[in-house]
Amino acid sequence: MSKVLTAYFSASGSTAHAAEALAKAAGTDIFEIVPEQAYTADDLRWTDKNSRSSLEMADKGSRPAIESRVENMEQYDVIFLGFPIWWYRGIYRGCWRQRHHK
């Protein structure tokens, strides 16, 4: 039988709720992608061009460091990856790739 992981990043809780519901319904393991530096409410101000999220999204090479790491990734056959949409793009996929597929 396939072993499945639900991994997610959530800055303000919505993706976390969805990921928890999915993991429970599908019976998967669950893993939170935790950035080294947590996002504050000020960081998430999309109306401010100088907020952390605006600056990161403006920099295509930006890959904020991830603190958490999945041990023994080889055990998983399928991974559901959950993330919020920021500026029409899914975030933290690049960080995840960089952290787990070196």
Ligand X SMILES: Cc1cc2nc3c(=O)[nH]c(=O)nc-3n(C[C@H](O)[C@H](O)[C@H](O)COP(=O)(O)O)c2cc1C
Minimal distance, residue 6 CB to ligand X, in Å: 13
Q: Which is nearer to ligand X, 10 or 28 (CB)?
A: 10
Q: Is 10 in the site for ligand X (CB under 6 A)?
A: yes
Residue 13 contacts ligand X per CB under 6 A: yes
Distance CA 1, CA 67 (A): 30
Q: How many CB atoms lie within 10 A of CB 45?
A: 14
Rounded to whole angstroms, what are the CA distances from 16 to 9, 37, 71, 75, 93?
Answer: 7, 18, 20, 23, 16
The reply on whether position 40 binds ligand X by CB under 6 A is no
Q: How far is the CB of 28 from ligand X (least distance, A)?
A: 18
Spatial contact of 82 and 92, defined as CB atoms under 8 Å apart: no
The answer to whether 98 contacts ligand X (rule: CB under 6 A) is no
Q: Which of 2, 25, 88, 102 binds ligand X (CB under 6 A)?
A: 88
Footprint of ligand X (CB under 6 A): 10-16, 44, 46, 53, 84-88
